[in-house]
Structure 1
Amino acid sequence: MIIVGLTGWGDHPSLYSEVTASKDKLFDYTGHFLTVEVDTSFYAIPSKENVRKWCEDTPGNFRFVVKAYQGMTGHLRGDIPFESKNDMFNAFIECANEFKRHGKLAMVLAQFPPWFDCQTKNVQYLLYIRQQLKDFDVAIEFRNRTWYADNVVQQTMDFLREHQFIHTICDEPQAGVGSVPFYPTVTATKALVRIHGRNIHGWRNTGNAENWRKVRFLYDYNSEELQQLGQHLKHLQSEVQELYVLFNNNSGLHAAKNAKELQDILAIRDVGLAPKQLNIFEGEL
């Protein structure tokens, strides 16, 4: 089964009804897709109350991919805002368990930074992640090409498979060691494909943080590119029980459009979507 969605639900205006308030964006989103990446959890661990509301406001078969907090994956510069590393992990685990309690957790996504390269201490840290998150399906996303070097890539995949990690397959610009190749190999009964765009200039941009975020994921996939991705996904689908596909190319608001185009290519007709809200005037008829 292929489940297509987006990273985040708050910045896709083409999905919202004319009367949608900011608090209703998740409801409108679930009228179009059955999965979403919770990317806000990367910046701050959501409260149980927020998680409970999100779960209660979504259809029964809706699933969340919850991105690990930045302090857990080595992105955070400076001290973590917790008394200890254990406190940090316990706070995240409490959050993830709330999704799980409602039956809405697809997986936890641990995305590592470009400087997290293939060396012994980082392999040991992956084992620590596995130990801390032992009760969860965990997807690992590498952003350093050394994990895919010809002489180690099979060991990388074997390691992920042995420790029941989900290999995150990425479509992204091929821009040196700080990017990874599209490597369509699965290591668990679930798989995750994250689609970042192919904007090489934006990927390499070294300007200020605001500009970097605007251009990094600025890309609109054309029909031929989506057809090629679709062929890969059909093959991967035969190897897993659930295949999650998340579009992250939203700097120019292309993610929702590309995701729907891919759904059409794959003839995906999701069942169980939330009803779309009526226009305020239609509601009076």
Structure 2
Amino acid sequence: MRRADVRIGISGWNYPPWRGKFYPEGLPHRSELAYASSVFKTIEVNSTFYRLQTPTTFARWFEQTPDDFVFAVKAPRFITHVKRLREISAPLANFFASGVLRLEHKLGPILWQLPPSFRFDADLLADFLKQLPRDTAAAVHAARKHDDKLRTEPWLKTPKEQPIRHALEIRHESFLVSDFITLLREHEVALVCADSVDWPLVMDVTSKFIYCRLHGSKELYRSAYDAEAIDLWARRVKAWALGRTPVESRLVGQPEDISRRRDVFVFFDNTDKLQAPHDAQTLIERVQRFTIQAKS
């Protein structure tokens, strides 16, 4: 049986307060991604949420990271927060034409984060999920429909066809219905397991991989995770990776047989006060310790 790929990292890497603390004193700013990717096997890209990047930028990120590194890419808020998933054919094309595919084999899951005011609408969501490209060939096809709002030369190629994974983060209680879980499973889209003080924490498995975002459960984006909390998340990661349902899971839909192993992505988004790098490194150590104990 294939071993699950467990990747634990941070959300973003360009934070001035980290300089001289997480980042070594005097490290050039241009070298921060290279340093962070030497510590973590994955990082969630935030800048793509705020504006379209360019193929040159994606190429630079590709070149600065190890060959076995994986980026998770946050999709544009223009699609999720401005258009609110309506009339998105051109914006979706612009996103995939902007150079995302330049990440090649380092392109991991695409994160779609809905705003807190966005309520569950089954028809709207189903239409959106149908439009998401499931592999790089489909993404190139979609990208060809870009419009003149793309301010750069489009990137419309990929050296090797590969699947594209999608994860959806909700922030409104109206999504806590079984129809939503069923819809995600039908489209093979991961429900983001988001730990925060403000938004629902649900743990239904809806795809072949798990995507977690740890925002700080006591103070949003700020609070650290103590040893007890890190141990809890380590046990959850281990359970998912082994094809089991974690104990004390909050489920909305019918439990799914998850007997096959799942790849797991965990990103610490408690980036204020330098919490994220420390917590991510601690969780990596705890997961590795659990793995060693299981083998002994």
CA contact (8 A) 1:7 1:39 kept: yes
Shift in Å at residue 19 of structure 1?
3.1
- The alpha-carbon distance between structure 1 residues 61 and 268, as it changes in their structure 2 partners (threshold 3 A), is farther
Q: 1:180 aligns with which of 196, 200, 203?
A: 200
Q: 2:119 aligns with which of 114, 117, 120?
A: 117
Structure 1 Cα separation of the partners of residues 285 and 233 of structure 2: 13
Structure 1 Cα separation of the partners of residues 183 and 129 of structure 2: 13
Tell me the equivalent position of 2:11. 7
Any idea what the Cα deviations from partners look like across 1:155-198, whole Å, max 9, x if unmatched?
Answer: 2222111111111111111x4xxx112x2222211210100101
Structure 2 Cα separation of the partners of residues 225 and 104 of structure 1: 30
1:92 aligns with 2:111: no
1:21 aligns with 2:25: no
Shift in Å at residue 233 of structure 1?
1.4
Shift in Å at residue 225 of structure 1?
1.1
Structure 2 Cα separation of the partners of residues 253 and 130 of structure 1: 39
Structure 2 Cα separation of the partners of residues 70 and 257 of structure 1: 28
CA contact (8 A) 1:165 1:188 kept: yes
Any idea what the Cα deviations from partners look like across 1:184-239, whole Å, max 9, x if unmatched?
Answer: 2222112101001013xx5xxxxxxxxxxxxx311011111111111111111123
CA contact (8 A) 1:6 1:248 kept: yes
Tell me the equivalent position of 1:164. 188
The percent identity for this pair of structures is 24
> What SS does the corresponding residue of 2:274 show, helix, strand or coil?
coil
CA contact (8 A) 1:93 1:133 kept: no
Equivalent residues, number: 236
Unmatched runs of 5 consecutive residues or more in structure 2: 136-163, 244-260, 291-296
- The alpha-carbon distance between structure 1 residues 243 and 19, as it changes in their structure 2 partners (threshold 3 A), is same
Any idea what the Cα deviations from partners look like across 1:65-94, whole Å, max 9, x if unmatched?
Answer: 0000001112579xxxxxx84332112112
Q: Which has the higher contact order (CA 8 A, sep 6+)?
A: 1
> What SS does the corresponding residue of 2:200 show, helix, strand or coil?
coil
Shift in Å at residue 129 of structure 1?
4.1
Structure 2 Cα separation of the partners of residues 76 and 257 of structure 1: 36
Q: 1:261 aligns with which of 282, 286, 290?
A: 282
Q: 2:54 aligns with which of 38, 42, 47?
A: 47
CA contact (8 A) 1:43 1:70 kept: yes
- The alpha-carbon distance between structure 1 residues 188 and 125, as it changes in their structure 2 partners (threshold 3 A), is closer
Shift in Å at residue 17 of structure 1?
2.5
Shift in Å at residue 31 of structure 1?
1.5
1:30 aligns with 2:34: no
Structure 2 Cα separation of the partners of residues 185 and 32 of structure 1: 30
Structure 1 Cα separation of the partners of residues 77 and 126 of structure 2: 15
Tell me the equivalent position of 2:167. 139
TM-score, with length taken from structure 2: 0.74
CA contact (8 A) 1:219 1:250 kept: no
Any idea what the Cα deviations from partners look like across 1:41-82, whole Å, max 9, x if unmatched?
Answer: 0001110110011011110110000000001112579xxxxx
1:63 aligns with 2:70: yes
Q: What amino acid is aligned across from residue 86 of structure 1 in structure 2?
A: S
Q: What amino acid is aligned across from residue 128 of structure 2 in structure 1?
A: Y
Tell me the equivalent position of 1:217. 221
Shift in Å at residue 268 of structure 1?
6.8
- The alpha-carbon distance between structure 1 residues 225 and 109, as it changes in their structure 2 partners (threshold 3 A), is same
CA contact (8 A) 2:188 2:208 kept: no
Tell me the equivalent position of 2:108. 106
Structure 1 residue runs of 4+, over 6 Å off? none
Structure 2 Cα separation of the partners of residues 143 and 265 of structure 1: 29
Q: What amino acid is aligned across from residue 188 of structure 1 in structure 2?
A: S
Tell me the equivalent position of 2:252. none
Q: 1:195 aligns with which of 214, 223, 228?
A: 214
Q: 1:237 aligns with which of 235, 241, 266?
A: 241
Unmatched runs of 5 consecutive residues or more in structure 1: 78-83, 203-215, 270-285
Q: What amino acid is aligned across from residue 180 of structure 1 in structure 2?
A: P
TM-score, with length taken from structure 1: 0.77
CA contact (8 A) 1:248 1:255 kept: yes
Structure 2 Cα separation of the partners of residues 196 and 139 of structure 1: 16
